[in-house]
Chains A and B, each alone.
Chain A
C-alpha cells in the first residue's frame, strides 16, 4: 500500500501543528466557537449532540496493521473503548475531548493518517471498492489513481470553498461495489478500442433529500488527462453550482437543472483549455505510485478450493461464514474475507479497541499486513490463503467478529441517528438492532439470501436508505418518530433509487413490516436463486404494497 514520502509526512505534520495551535486558541478563549467552527470542520472535528466527534480519513479504505493498532489505541486512550466505521470508509470517534485532539492528530500522523478534508465543503476522502487489488473480477486496481486524486485534492486552494461537499468514488471492477453512480463524481475503469485502460466519468449522482443517479459525462478519459478533466468539472461546479440554497448546492442539482449536455459543454470547453497543461500525469509517475500497490508476493498454495457444502454439514456456523463472507481472489488459493461488524443486536460499524487489535493481528499474520474498510461498514482481510481460513475464523469467533452474514438481511447499513447525530429526526441504531433480533436465526437469513437493508435517521441519508433493496427512513411526524419504507434501491452498476411504498410505521411496527415484505418475497420468488431485488424488479411494487397495507 501507499507509504508516505518525506513530503507527505511534512505536509500532514504542518497541518497537525496548525490545527493544534487553533485548538489551543479555542481552549484559551482566544477563538470563539463561531471562529473555530470552520477551522475544526476542515480537520474532521464535528460538534455532535453530546460531544465532539472526530472523523479520521482512511484513504480508499486501505489500512495496515500498524494503523489499525493506532486506531485501537486511540479508542482505548482517548475515547470510550470503541470506534465507528462509516459508510465513507472512515472511522469516527464519538467521545474525544477537545484538549486531546492535537495529541490524537499527532498520534495519527505518526502512522501516516489524518483527518484532513473529512468534512467541510471540499473534496472529501476518495472511496473505492473494498476488494480493490484483490478481486477476481477487477480490470485494474483503482487505488494508485485514488492516491493521485487524494494528493491532487488535498487542500486544493481553488476548491476548498465549494458550494457544498464533494465526493469522488472510483472502482476498477465492472461489478460496482463502491456505489460510484451515487457520488458527485464516479470513476469506473473502462478499456477503449485500443485496449488501453482509462476511466468512464459519471457525474451528478448522490443521495440526501434529492437522490439522483449519476450521468455518464465522458466514456473514456485516459489516465494522462484524468486530473485535468476532474479539475475542469470542479471549476465548472465551483463557478456555477448553486450557493443560494444549501439543499440545492450539490453538483447533482446543477446537472439536473442545467441538463447534462450544457454541463458537458462547459466541462469540455474548460478541458480544452487545461488539457495537456501542468496536470498532465506522466506514465512514470503513475507507475511509481502503482509500485506501492503491487500485489504481495503470494506463495503458491496447494489448497485452492474449499468445500463449503461439506463444512456446512460439519460446522454450520463456519459453513455459513464461508458461504457469505468470502470474495473470489484473483490469485488461486486465496480469498478476501469480510469481517462483519454487524453482530445481532449490535450497533452497525462499531468495533472495540480489543477487536481492532485482533483484526490488526490477523491482518499481519494472514493477510500480508493489509486491511480494508468497506462502505457497508465492515472490515476486510483482502488476501487470506484458503488454507488459513479456519484459523482466521476461529480467531474471529473468539472476538465476536465471526458473524457469517455479509450481504444478508442483518448486514445492514445504518447511520448514527438520534443517539448521536444532532440532525436526526429519529433513532436508527435501535431499529437496526430490533430487525437483526427478528432475523437472528442463521437458517432464516440463509433462506432469504442477499438482501440489503439501509437505514437513515433523517433525510440526509447517511445510511443510504435510497439504495437499500429495502430502505428505512426516520421522519418526524406529530412529535413522534415514524419510519418510511422504500423498496427497490440499488447502489451497483444496475443503479436505482428506492420508491416509497406508503405511510410510515411506528418504531415497534418496523420489524414486523420488514418480515411481511420478506415473506411476500419468499412466497413469490421463482426459486431460491432469484434474489429479493430481482424478484421486486419482476413483480413490481404491487404485491409488496398489498401485503403491507392491504388492497383497500
Chain B
C-alpha cells in the first residue's frame, strides 16, 4: 500500500472550488474516478459502516478500483446481520481490499469492561471503538471517500463534492447530491443487496446498541443515538467515514441551517457563458436574454434577483434553479422582502432562497419570516451574532407571512391553515 507523505498539492493548486464545479451533480463515478486516478492516485481510502446504504458507495468503489482500501470499523458492537452483510458485499461486488479495524483490547478492558459504556457515555465509547482505532489509519491517506449526502441531516446543509479539511486532507463526497430516492433507484438499477435489517425498519445502521427503528417520514439518522443528544460520532469523525472537521467555518460566508458552510456557488462574472456556466447565480436580465442556453445547460445554476427585477417574468423557469439569490443593495431597500414572499408563497419555490448584499443582524429575522432560508454574510458583528445565535428579534408576531408560518404567534384570527 502506498503510504503517501505528500499533501494534496495538486488539488490545492487546482483550487477546491474549481474542482467542485467540474462534475454534474449526479456524476458520482466521475468524481470518484477523478479523485482516485487523477488527483490522489494511490492515496485514497474509504471507511465504510456497511450499513443500510453503504452498498451504493461500495459499488462505485468496485467500478473505479476494487482494490481501493476499504476500512470497516469492527467496533465489537455490531449486529450479526451487519457482519454477514460485509461478507455478502465483499463477494458480490468483488472488493478485494476490505480491512477490519478493531479497538485496542487494553482500552476496552480498561474503559468498558462491562460493555455498557455506550449507555453511560457514548462519546467515550465511540472514542475508544472508532476514533482511536481509526486515527493511525487516517494519517496514511491524503484523501478519504465518504458516503455523506446533503439531505441526510439538517446540520449537513450544503455539501460539495470536494472539501479541504483543517488537517489538509481531501474529503471526497461522490454522493453529495443523492437523495433518498436516488439511493434507492441506484440500488434497484444495479441489483444491490439490502442490509438484512433494512426491511425491518432500520434505515441508518450503526452499532447494535445505538441504532433503533426509524419511523416513516423521520430523518433516517434519527434512529441513531435515539434519546441521546448526539448526532455525530466523535469530533473528527463520522460513521460514514468523514474524517477531520471541514475547513474553519470562519472562511465561509454562506449561513444556512444554523451554520456557516462552504458555498458551492460563485458570483456571476462578465464573460461567463450561459450555456456552460455552473454553480453561478445568473442575473435575471441576463437569464432572460439567454434563456434557451441556460435551460439547455446541464449544470446546477442559480438566479440573481436584484430590486426592480420582475420576478414574475421568470415564474415558469424557477424550477430550473437550485438557488435564488435576492440582492439587498442596502439594508434600507426592502424590495427583496416582497420578492422573497412571492417566491416562497405564490410560486411555491422550495429550494434555497438566499439574501446577498447588505445583510445585517437587525434585518435577518424579517428576511427569514419572508421565506429567505440562507444568508451570505460578511459583516463581522452580524456573523458574530449569527454564530452566537443572538439576533435582535421579537419572537412574537401578528401577521401570517411565509409558508412555514401559519403559526403559533400570529393573531388568532389569522392563525388558520392555508
Interface, chain A (partner B; CB < 8 A): 7, 10-11, 14-15, 18, 21-22, 38-39, 121, 151-152, 154-162, 235, 238-239, 243, 273, 277-279, 281-282, 284-285, 288
CB of B27 closer than 8 Å to a CB of A: no
**For B401, what are the chain A residues with a Cβ–Cβ distance below 8 Å?**
156-158
CA of A38 to CA of B334, assembled, Å: 14
CA of A312 to CA of B281, assembled, Å: 78
CA of A285 to CA of B414, assembled, Å: 9
CA of A160 to CA of B418, assembled, Å: 24
Which residue on chain B has the smallest CB distance to residue A269? B312
The answer on a CB contact under 8 Å between B332 and A278 is: no
Distance in Å from the Cβ of A231 to the closest Cβ of chain B?
Answer: 9
- Given contacts A21-B392, A156-B399, 11 further A-B pairs with CB under 8 A are A14-B394, A15-B394, A155-B394, A155-B398, A157-B366, A160-B337, A161-B334, A238-B338, A278-B406, A284-B413, A285-B413
**For A160, what are the chain B residues with a Cβ–Cβ distance below 8 Å?**
334, 337, 366
The answer on a CB contact under 8 Å between A18 and B394 is: yes
Which listed residue (A15, A161, A285) contacts B333, Cβ 8 A? A161
CA of A11 to CA of B395, assembled, Å: 8
CA of A371 to CA of B212, assembled, Å: 65
Distance in Å from the Cβ of B360 to the closest Cβ of chain A?
Answer: 9
**For B395, what are the chain A residues with a Cβ–Cβ distance below 8 Å?**
14
Distance in Å from the Cβ of B414 to the closest Cβ of chain A?
Answer: 6
**For A11, what are the chain B residues with a Cβ–Cβ distance below 8 Å?**
394, 396-398
The answer on a CB contact under 8 Å between B414 and A279 is: yes
Known: A7-B411, A14-B394. A279 touches B332 (CB 8 A): no
CA of A38 to CA of B406, assembled, Å: 29
CA of A15 to CA of B395, assembled, Å: 9
Contact with A along B313-356 (1 / 0, CB 8 A): 00000000000000000011111011001000010000000000
Which residue on chain B has the smallest CB distance to residue A16? B394
The answer on a CB contact under 8 Å between A282 and B413 is: yes
CB of B174 closer than 8 Å to a CB of A: no
The answer on a CB contact under 8 Å between A18 and B393 is: yes
CB of B416 closer than 8 Å to a CB of A: yes
Distance in Å from the Cβ of A34 to the closest Cβ of chain B?
Answer: 12
The answer on a CB contact under 8 Å between B396 and A22 is: no
The answer on a CB contact under 8 Å between A158 and B394 is: no
Known: A11-B398, A151-B411, A158-B401. A22 touches B392 (CB 8 A): yes
The answer on a CB contact under 8 Å between A281 and B413 is: yes
CA of A151 to CA of B333, assembled, Å: 23
Distance in Å from the Cβ of A245 to the closest Cβ of chain B?
Answer: 14
Contact with A along B383-418 (1 / 0, CB 8 A): 000000000111111111100001000011110101
Distance in Å from the Cβ of A458 to the closest Cβ of chain B?
Answer: 23
Distance in Å from the Cβ of B368 to the closest Cβ of chain A?
Answer: 8
Distance in Å from the Cβ of B114 to the closest Cβ of chain A?
Answer: 50
CA of A292 to CA of B406, assembled, Å: 25
**For A161, what are the chain B residues with a Cβ–Cβ distance below 8 Å?**
331-334, 337, 363
Distance in Å from the Cβ of B339 to the closest Cβ of chain A?
Answer: 8
**For A14, what are the chain B residues with a Cβ–Cβ distance below 8 Å?**
394-396
The 7 closest A-B pairs by CB, nearest first: A161-B334, A285-B413, A157-B366, A157-B369, A278-B400, A14-B394, A158-B337
**For A288, what are the chain B residues with a Cβ–Cβ distance below 8 Å?**
413
The answer on a CB contact under 8 Å between B362 and A152 is: no
Which listed residue (A152, A239, A285) contacts B412, Cβ 8 A? A285
CA of A39 to CA of B332, assembled, Å: 12
Which residue on chain A has the smallest CB distance to residue B394? A14
**For B335, what are the chain A residues with a Cβ–Cβ distance below 8 Å?**
238-239, 243
Distance in Å from the Cβ of A280 to the closest Cβ of chain B?
Answer: 9
CA of A279 to CA of B413, assembled, Å: 9
The answer on a CB contact under 8 Å between A7 and B396 is: yes
CA of A278 to CA of B399, assembled, Å: 9
CB of B370 closer than 8 Å to a CB of A: yes
Known: A157-B399, A285-B413. A162 touches B338 (CB 8 A): no
**For B369, what are the chain A residues with a Cβ–Cβ distance below 8 Å?**
157
Known: A157-B369, A238-B338, A243-B333. A10 touches B414 (CB 8 A): no
